[in-house]
A and B are shown apart, each in its own frame.
Chain A
């Protein structure tokens, strides 16, 4: 099979998106989008199924080039991005009915998909950086879609933070170009012994900067502040993918930099690992605590994302195979569950206009299916078996206790994971309990079914089922992740 097929999923949606402004009729547009997303998903699945594709489209200089390949990590990322993008896309057909400028939304929605796949297939730092910046620019219109003053400000804040974060990554890139023979992603790292011996400390400082920079997209402290501003103002499907997918691209960049450029051997047991573990542990707790105190539903979910994505980063920075496997599991578990939560919140907004947690009393009687999905996703975020969140938490904790470095930090991390799970229960289950059990005073005569139509609840049901399926039968995923992590240590 020709390796050029790698270019198809990246550029096909970008070009196909150009048709959007010309499709004014929503029916036709929906059909076209469905076809595009379906074809895209099929091709991505095909690429995931195969291996060994590699292509360079532009050799700029000896060490700089734009090139793609599908190694294990790429196959995993591209696959789940495409599938979730498809589901959220279908959901958007219904949700966007009450928004204006739908064509623009779908234009950027499709372009973003191509860009995200570009990130996942990139085989060197420059390609990844290029698409990383594109991702920021292409998703800003999704955030400021409402064009209210608040939304535009939030969009700009998102852009400012992301550009700053990526800027830190760029600084790191300059150093890497100087000290490493190549910046292609090679499992185990690209640094030469000479550079490690003579410039180890500078490289570690730069590494810390890069992690903070890429951590911005992943909502890691200290550059987390854009998340709770941007999520509530974006349309629900956009916040769903922001929270479920875009943050994961930050994680992706972190994994690539840590395991494929610097290498575990250079980093493990050093001060920089400790600093990063402390940052992630603090972020986990801070995010959960702030979510617990937040009353605006989507903002609460945004804080929850801050905390949950830091679970993943915690797993990544543990630098143990089991911890890394837990991180990858949590990527998929959190992506599904958080998308499900945001889409549920979106359905509630769409059907009732309620945005605050206090208003949701009795909503479970009006929208039992939506709240059922919400409940399953909540249980997964808390980590209740047999959902995906439980499995990933198990691996994260096992990985943390395996970690030979960092003193008592990994153990503290495990305890914080449990405390955060408790807070997660506090901020999600009270919504569920209120929704289903509004109390004796609930007026059943005013009860009307407000269940949304199939376009909305079928993606929700699929996501909820996915949470349980991944949790119940994770063994094939785990062995796939083990094959990815095997080369890294």
Chain B
């Protein structure tokens, strides 16, 4: 049974190779094979999720790898299997007209194995190994189109992944040195009993860097709004729904196991989460690209999840609501965002455009797509009866709960009141940008209609079935939370060291509905007063069109990260390195020049004296002092190579320079011996 855990990881990787080989012969067979593979993988993940088994291989990669299933790991691996299942089925149709599909399938399946490896790992070493593999294999998915934007975004993605991975590695060096283990549970046990936690915080911070970068946490979020829109839609769904969760898993492990019930750590995650949540939502409101908006939305939703993780740390043992909200939002966001990205994929597959002005009105006559997208919208905004509502309510309640605790303890609740309002505000923005997308795509008339608006079949049965499945899940989650989501949350609790709430949460009580209501009011206000007014302009023909009003100087990647990392630092450090590297040779060159000048002076003066003597005694011609003498004609051994007429180069490239080293070294050694 335990062998099924490595199977979950190795099977897709081996399958990737097989699919490549099949793909060289027959494209359809390869597609079928990939579909079958992800179905099997999904089935095995479900089968294994309820078992609590462990697998370890002590010899692999030095420290050995350790897997376990059950609980949170089981839930995440099922989610992973599900997202891969849907997007692989969708890939068949989406990629029909693409080049290099073999490569796509190869790397998509490898990424599946690596991602499973991350979710099943019980220690950070294993997690890092598969995390790195995942980063590199998914890079190929990002740049698959090979357009200029894709390559640019891919470079950013790769840079963030590499830097993040290496910083995480550095953190693990320190953590391993401090504790002698990287097992998540053991780390928690050790750190719990430590009085001076400072070095542990530093190590933890470094470890969280890479995971945070993958999750899209501020200020490492830069890759996310770029990379998701340029990847093929099924790959965007994977990136957005599940690869980011691999990062979240790392943060969860750090927050819930290593720094268990640690208020300082929790507060740090909370602040990062709040910034990410608001920032993502604000960029999403400004964006006028369908997939970019969805990507920014992911950013914002990850922020919500991080807020939940932070609250768990702050609430300590009373984190039932926060932990439930965290895991449920991970699930909900995964499923909902998958639905939305697949819808975007359907749009792109048909008209190859994503700009809101260009795709405007395309979905007016497509009721099925409209309904699915609407369900996704309602889910992600958190409207009662759809999935997102449940998790957002729990997260909101956890903030309120902490405020109550603070009031009881007689402390200021200002920060948490602000966070609560930012939470509701971000929820409102979610409604605003999703409505913007919905209106543009399905309601408004396109003032510049193109030929594509023809009726007819715009997606095949498989895609329809996949979308229907996703939409159904969102709805069922929302309507029957106690039978579905609560059960999932219950399973995940051991990982997060929390217990079920004392009494079942009344999701549809007025107190909880109030939050949703405030969100809707804010969202409507933002939509009508800001999006419709400030983010739309009248063009020369008198039509209202969407404009990109996001000020470009706010782009920290283009204005800070890239210039500093690509231009300034390499230039400065490179020059320093060059000077440093050449120091010894330069010094020797100076010594050599001085030496040669001295020697030349003496020989020339002696020769001059001799020639003067010859003038006096032998009546030879009166010599002129300092006449140019011929260089030696030995190309390799003369001090300065005459051919090159470049003394420095001649010196640097031949033996004489090296011999001077030898001579100087010998002289130095002799002097030391003598004195």
A: residues with CB less than 8 A from B are 149-150, 152-154, 156-157, 159-161, 163-164, 167-168, 171, 205, 209, 221-226, 229, 282, 285-286, 289-290, 292-293, 379, 382-386, 390-391, 393-395, 397-398, 401-402, 414-415, 418, 421-422, 425, 429, 433, 437-440, 442, 444, 471-475, 478
CB-based contact B658/A163 at 8 Å? yes
Residues B169 and A418 in contact, CB atoms below 8 Å apart: yes
- B577 near A161 with CB under 8 A, answer no
**Bound-state Cα–Cα, A318 to B602, Å:** 50
**Cβ-defined contact, B166 with A421, below 8 A:** yes
Given contacts A167-B665, A385-B129, are A433 and B158 in contact (CB under 8 A)?
yes
A157 and B167 contacting across the interface, CB-CB below 8 Å: no
In the bound complex, CA of A225 to CA of B570 (Å): 21
Q: Could you list 25 A-B pairs, sorted by A, with CB under 8 Å?
A: A149-B635, A153-B654, A154-B653, A157-B657, A159-B658, A161-B661, A163-B658, A205-B672, A222-B584, A290-B581, A384-B132, A386-B61, A390-B61, A393-B169, A401-B177, A415-B170, A418-B167, A421-B166, A422-B162, A440-B147, A471-B61, A472-B61, A474-B61, A475-B58, A478-B62
Closest B residue by C-beta to A375: B136
Partner of B669 from the list A171, A439, A442 (CB cut-off 8 Å) is: A171
A152–B146 touching, CB < 8 Å: no
Whole-angstrom CA separation of A157 from B651 in the bound complex: 10
Complex interface bits, B657-675 against A, C-beta within 8 A gives 1, otherwise 0: 1110110011001001000
Verify A418–B654 contact, CB threshold 8 A: no
Q: Are B166 and A418 in contact (CB under 8 A)?
A: yes
The complex places the Cα of A337 from the Cα of B97 at a distance, in Å, of 38
Q: A385 and B154: CB pair below 8 A? A: no
Contact status of A164 and B662, CB under 8 A, knowing A394-B62, A418-B170, A439-B146? yes
Residues of A near B655 (CB, < 8 A) are: 156-157, 159-160
Q: Is the CB of A384 within 8 A of B654?
A: no
The answer to the question of B173 belonging to the interface, with a C-beta cut-off of 8 Å to chain A, is yes
> Could you say which residues of chain B place their CB within 8 Å of the CB of A471?
61
**Docked CA distance A292–B170 (Å):** 21
Contact A157 B146 (CB under 8 A): no
Residues of B within 8 A of A (CB): 58-63, 99, 128-129, 132-133, 136, 143, 145-148, 151, 154-155, 158, 162-163, 165-167, 169-170, 173-174, 176-177, 570, 573-574, 576-578, 580-585, 635-636, 652-655, 657-659, 661-662, 665-666, 669, 672
How many angstroms between the C-alpha atoms of A292 and B163 in the bound complex?
Answer: 16
Neighbour of B654 across the interface among A156, A290, A438, CB < 8 A: A156
Highest count of chain A CB atoms <10 Å: which of B148, B573, B576, B672: B573
- Give the complex CA separation of A87 and B351 in angstroms: 53
Contact between B62 and A474, CB atoms less than 8 A apart: yes
B206: nearest residue on chain A (CB-CB)? A418
Nearest opposing residue in chain B for A411, CB measure? B174
B673 to chain A, nearest CB (A): 9
- Indicate whether A293 sits within 8 Å of B570 (C-beta atoms), given known contacts A438-B146, A440-B146: yes
Closest to A283 in B: B581
Beyond A290-B581, A390-B129, 4 additional contacts (C-beta under 8 Å) are: A154-B653, A386-B61, A401-B173, A437-B154
Partner of A384, one of B136, B148, B173: B136
Task: Name the distance in Å between A360's Cβ and chain B's nearest Cβ.
Answer: 15
A302–chain B nearest beta-carbon distance, Å: 12
Given A153-B654, A422-B162, A395 and B669 contact (CB-CB distance below 8 Å):
no
Which one, B60, B169, B174, B574, contacts A290 given CB within 8 A?
Answer: B574
Q: A153-B654, A225-B584, A385-B132 are in contact. Are A401 and B174 (CB under 8 A)?
A: yes
What distance in Å separates the Cβ of B97 from its nearest Cβ neighbour in chain A? 15
Q: A229 and B653: CB pair below 8 A?
A: yes
- B176 to chain A: which residues have CB within 8 Å? 398
A471 to B62, CA, bound (A): 8
B583 in contact with A442 (CB, 8 Å): no
A164 touches B665 (CB 8 A): yes
A164 CA / B657 CA spacing, docked (Å):
11
Structural contact, A289 and B59, CB atoms closer than 8 A: no
List, in ascending order, chain B residues with CB within 8 A of A149's CB. Answer: 635
* Cβ-defined contact, A153 with B585, below 8 A: no
Q: Which residues of chain A are within 8 angstroms of B636 by Cβ–Cβ distance?
A: 152-153, 156
A292 and B146 in contact (CB under 8 A), knowing A160-B657, A379-B136?
no
